[in-house]
Amino acid sequence: MAISSAPGKVYLFGEHAVVYGEPAVPCAIERRARVEVSRREDGKLSVHSDDLTLDGFTVEYGVSPDERPDIDVSESLVTAAMGYVDGAIEQVRDVTGNDDVGFDVTIDSDIPLGAGLGSSAAVVVAAIDAATRELGTTLSTEELADRAYRTEHEVQDGQASRADTFCSATGGAVRVEGEDCRSIEAPDLPIVIGFDGGAGDTGQLVAGVRNLREEYDFAADTVAAIGDVVRNGEEALSAGDLEEIGRLMNFNHGLLSALGVSSRSLDTMVWAARDAGAMGAKLTGAGGGGCIVALDPTPETETALSFTPGCEDAFRAALTEEGVKRIE
Ligand code: MEV
């Protein structure tokens, strides 16, 4: 048996635009997916998950999954979640040259699924790390991030950036621009998260932005403008200028909204945070529903969010420098 965990993340700046080669800055947060893996000789894969939104399910299948668990979340979310696990195991088979190996996989995650906090990247990183170690191979962080990226790329129909998976594998604040992924310094950030209890379909949301970008020059300009916001954000981060970081987060949210990836509940939470005095607030991740990230050193934003209709959970999240963690 091998057990690994990996952190979720928030995007300070740059989601969606990063898919088209603009830079992005995600930050790992101390919310983790823990994956336990045991080898099995019959070639089958059994997945059990206890997750904030997937409230416990087990499914067992052969190489081509045809069963689906009977649980109360949307079919597309379950299909996506299982696609990520299948994809991760495919990478493990490929990198270890062990084509027929099967596994019992148990996922225990405190990152809500599809909510913009990088649950899929965390599960994929932790699953690849644990399953390769179960077969006696330990991957470098770079190779792990790369294999996890390939999984997301496949599941998201070739439309994924390296941002989520690199951030989850390495921890800390990172800057990703195309193939160039590095860790960067970030000041102590007073991060508050609001969660509407919902989720977005990353593949669909990314496809929506791609279509807009192909149809309208001004949508392509909006994506490029997000890149400019990120570049300014990097300067504000290295100067430790929280006020400016917040202003740029607000701007970034407006541009994401123009690209159609916000939602009524995300906008409501963003405005509740701003009204409560947050330095800035924006959706995080693919959007469509899920989480917002705000900056506020005072308790005001968390309190306001917890009383905001449509906000199911509000909490603080500390940045973590620890990426993948080898527990056993
Ligand atoms: C999803 O967490 C972030 C997106 O930018 C997609 C990606 O980078 O792969 C929307």
- pLDDT in the model for residue 65: 46
CB of 160 sitting under 6 A from ligand 1: yes
Q: Which of 83-87, 236-240, 286-290 has the lowest mean pLDDT?
A: 83-87
Q: Which helix (H) or strand (E) holds 327?
A: none
Burial of 64 from C-beta contacts in 10 A (0-12 / 13-18 / 19+): exposed
- pLDDT in the model for residue 47: 85
pLDDT: is 68 or 118 the higher one?
A: 118
DSSP string, 3-36: EEEEEEEEEEE-TTGGGGT--BEEEEEEEEEEEE
Give the single-character DSSP code of 55.
Answer: -
State what percent of residues in the chain have pLDDT above 70: 91
C-alpha to C-alpha distance for 151 and 148, rounded to whole angstroms = 5
CB of 95 sitting under 6 A from ligand 1: no
Interval 96-101 mean pLDDT: 93
Q: Is the pLDDT of residue 54 over 80?
A: no
The CB-side HSE value for 275 (13 A sphere, CA atoms) comes to: 11
* SS3 state at 256: helix
Q: How far is the CA of 98 from the centre of ligand 1 (A)?
A: 30
Structure tokens at 155: 């599941």
Q: Which helix (H) or strand (E) holds 58?
A: strand 57-61
Task: Tell me the pairing of strands 280-283 and 191-195.
Answer: unpaired
- pLDDT in the model for residue 48: 82
Structure tokens at 149: 């990226």
Domains in the chain: ranges and CATH: 2-184 (3.30.230.10), 191-316 (3.30.70.890)
* SS3 state at 2: strand
Q: Which of 19, 177, 255, 261 to mutate to test the pocket of ligand 1 (most atoms within 8 A of CB)?
A: 19
The pLDDT-based confidence of 73 (bands split at 50, 70, 90) is low
- pLDDT in the model for residue 82: 80
Burial of 84 from C-beta contacts in 10 A (0-12 / 13-18 / 19+): buried
Q: Which of 120, 202, 210, 261 to mutate to test the pocket of ligand 1 (most atoms within 8 A of CB)?
A: 202
- pLDDT in the model for residue 161: 93
Q: Which of 37-41, 131-135, 157-161 has the lowest mean pLDDT?
A: 157-161
Which of 51, 146, 164, 201 is flagged as catalytic? 164
Q: How far is the CA of 253 from the centre of ligand 1 (A)?
A: 15
132-142 pLDDT tens trace: 999 999 999 99
C-alpha to C-alpha distance for 13 and 293, rounded to whole angstroms = 10
Q: Is 180 a catalytic residue?
A: no
Closest CA to 308 of 199, 196, 198: 196
Instruction: Evaluate the CA torsion angle 107, 108, 113, 115 in order and state its sign.
Output: negative
Residue whose structure tokens are 């499914």: 59
Q: Where are the alpha helices (DSSP H) in the chain?
A: 75-96, 119-134, 141-155, 163-170, 202-215, 217-239, 242-258, 264-275, 300-306
Q: How far is the CA of 165 from the centre of ligand 1 (A)?
A: 10
Task: Name 58's bridge partners.
Answer: 48
Interval 213-223 mean pLDDT: 98
C-alpha to C-alpha distance for 3 and 328, rounded to whole angstroms = 5
Are residues 176 and 24 in contact, defined by beta-carbon separation less than 8 angstroms? yes
